[in-house]
């Protein structure tokens, strides 16, 4: 909740304060709240109130890499708002979290490096007045949590997370970026694999998982990357033996040379073996305690969220196409100091 004066009206103008009913959500769920506008010394006319979701996105362009503030979902909650002098105007809103939104919290703890925020924008006399940024903790779906639980049981250790501009091969990706969760491999694979990356691409009915293993090179063996990909329903994902599946995939990745996707007949020929998981206190993420992760706690209207529970996050990377090709028109934007650190560019990633 951040309160600020609207710069377009100057001194004595109205102020805006966006209040979320809860800062916790899961992909596919609505975040609700109110935009509260306190009138100033004179009546004011606001042409439009809009809310957007933003996150920090890393972009690779040639030999260079930079980070920007990416807006990936935007809705107009009301047109034509009159704010009488000294009066409070309250506008309720509902903002859906996209199914592919980056996960920012695991087991009740903040995921290092990950941030999603709700930004309030008021259009006054045709000019947008951006500000009032409120952080939202996006928790894993039960199906994603199942994957993370297996990662913890197998002995993975979380290394880092980021959101990268680009497309993944072979999955129905809608947003022009994807989240990567990077792990150190279990001790048994430390001499053969450098790191393992995990990415989730969720839809209302399915979960797509992409794994990438960075294989160590040696005197008599070739290094490189090995990929795995798996698609399943959310319900089936919760009932799989992901510890066994991931362990099998790790063995294959450690023994094989660099390659593309490996099909697995147990999954109907879908390329790759993945793994899921995530209980509170998942050792893969440093043992965070976990009061969150059960979508039902947030009143999710979807039937799937009402009848299933669990917890987790995600990462991976099979990029098809250069990231620079999907970023589109970028313009320099303001620094979101409330949520993001450092000088960044403003990018439009709206669905």
Domain count of the chain? Answer: 2
Flag whether 46 is in a domain. Answer: yes
CATH number at residue 18: 2.60.40.640
Tell which residue, 64, 113, 160, 72, has the closest CA to residue 347: 72
343 φ/ψ angles, rounded to the nearest 5 degrees: -80, 125
Flag whether 332 is in a domain. Answer: yes
- The model's confidence at residue 63, banded by pLDDT at 50, 70 and 90, is confident
Flag whether 289 is in a domain. Answer: yes
- Do residues 152 and 132 lie in contact, with contact meaning Cβ atoms separated by under 8 Å? no
Q: Say yes or no: 57 and 72 in one domain.
A: yes
Q: Per-residue pLDDT averaged across 263-283, rounded? A: 38
- Do residues 350 and 73 lie in contact, with contact meaning Cβ atoms separated by under 8 Å? yes
pLDDT at residue 323 in the model = 26
Q: Say yes or no: 101 and 198 in one domain.
A: no
Handedness of CA 43, 46, 51, 57 (dihedral sign): negative
pLDDT at residue 196 in the model = 94
Count Cβ atoms below 10 Å from residue 233 Cβ, excluding itself.
14
- Do residues 331 and 179 lie in contact, with contact meaning Cβ atoms separated by under 8 Å? no
pLDDT at residue 115 in the model = 93
**314 contacts: CB under 8 Å, gap ≥ 6:** 103, 140, 144, 147, 148, 179, 181, 198, 199, 200, 209
Considering only 41-55, 57-71, 131-145, 268-282, which range has the smallest mean pLDDT?
268-282
Q: Rounded to the nearest 5 degrees, what angle is found at the Cα of 134, between the Cα atoms of 337 and 15?
A: 90
Q: Say yes or no: 175 and 253 in one domain.
A: yes
Q: Say yes or no: 54 and 132 in one domain.
A: yes
Q: What is the pLDDT of residues 193-227, one digit of tens each?
A: 899 999 999 999 999 999 999 865 443 444 567 88
Q: Per-residue pLDDT averaged across 306-333, rounded? A: 29
Q: Say yes or no: 160 and 205 in one domain.
A: yes
Q: Say yes or no: 288 and 154 in one domain.
A: yes
Flag whether 51 is in a domain. Answer: yes
- Structure letter (DSSP) for residue 216: P
Write down the residue that tokens 């109907």 correspond to: 268
Which token pair is 42?
Answer: 């004179």
Write down the residue that tokens 């004011």 correspond to: 44
- Structure letter (DSSP) for residue 250: H
Flag whether 313 is in a domain. Answer: no
pLDDT at residue 287 in the model = 55
Query: How far is Cα 7 from Cα 4, in angstroms, rounded to an integer?
Result: 9
CA 45 and chain centroid, separation:
35
Query: How far is Cα 347 from Cα 67, in angstroms, rounded to an integer?
Result: 10
Handedness of CA 329, 332, 336, 340 (dihedral sign): positive
Q: Say yes or no: 14 and 107 in one domain.
A: yes
Residue 9, domain extent = 3-139+327-348
Flag whether 315 is in a domain. Answer: no
Flag whether 317 is in a domain. Answer: no
309 φ/ψ angles, rounded to the nearest 5 degrees: -130, 160
Listing DSSP states for 134-165 in one string gives: EEEEEPPPHHHHHHHHHHHHHT-EEEEEEEEE
Task: Measure Cα distances from 175 to 168, 310, 329 in Å.
Answer: 10, 25, 16
- The model's confidence at residue 2, banded by pLDDT at 50, 70 and 90, is very low
Number of residues written out for the chain: 351
Considering only 40-54, 137-151, 202-216, 330-344, which range has the smallest mean pLDDT?
330-344
- pTM of structure: 0.74
């Amino acid at each position: 909740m951040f309160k600020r004066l609207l710069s377009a009206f100057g001194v004595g103008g109205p102020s805006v304060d966006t209040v979320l009913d809860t800062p916790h959500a899961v992909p596919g769920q609505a975040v609700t709240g109110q935009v509260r506008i306190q009138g100033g010394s004179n009546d004011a006319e606001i042409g439009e109130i809009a809310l957007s979701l933003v996150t920090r996105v890393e972009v690779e362009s040639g030999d260079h890499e930079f980070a920007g503030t990416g807006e990936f979902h935007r809705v107009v909650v009301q047109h034509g708002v009159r704010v009488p002098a000294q009066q409070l105007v309250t506008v309720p809103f509902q903002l859906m979290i996209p199914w592919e939104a980056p996960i920012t919290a695991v087991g009740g703890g903040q995921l290092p490096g990950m941030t999603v925020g709700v930004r309030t924008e008021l259009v006054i006399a045709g000019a947008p007045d951006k500000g009032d940024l409120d952080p939202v903790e996006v928790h894993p779906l039960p199906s994603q949590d199942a994957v993370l639980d297996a990662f913890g049981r197998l002995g993975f250790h979380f290394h880092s997370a980021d959101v990268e501009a680009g497309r993944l091969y072979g999955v129905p990706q809608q947003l022009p970026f994807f989240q990567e969760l990077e792990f150190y491999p279990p001790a048994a694979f430390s001499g053969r694999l450098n790191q393992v990356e995990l990415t989730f691409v969720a839809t209302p009915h399915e979960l797509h998982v992409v794994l990438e293993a960075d294989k160590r090179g040696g005197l008599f063996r070739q290094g490189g990357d090995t990929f795995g990909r798996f698609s399943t329903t959310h319900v089936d994902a919760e009932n799989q033996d992901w510890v066994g599946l991931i362990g099998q995939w790790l063995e294959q990745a450690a023994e094989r040379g660099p390659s593309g996707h490996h099909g697995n007949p147990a999954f109907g020929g879908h390329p790759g073996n993945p793994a899921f998981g995530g209980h509170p206190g998942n050792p893969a993420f440093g043992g965070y305690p976990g009061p969150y992760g059960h979508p039902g706690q947030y009143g999710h209207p979807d039937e799937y969220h009402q009848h299933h529970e669990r917890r987790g996050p995600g990462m991976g990377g099979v990029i098809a196409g250069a990231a620079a090709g999907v970023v589109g028109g970028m313009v320099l934007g303001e620094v979101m100091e409330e949520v993001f650190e450092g000088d960044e560019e403003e990018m439009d990633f709206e669905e």
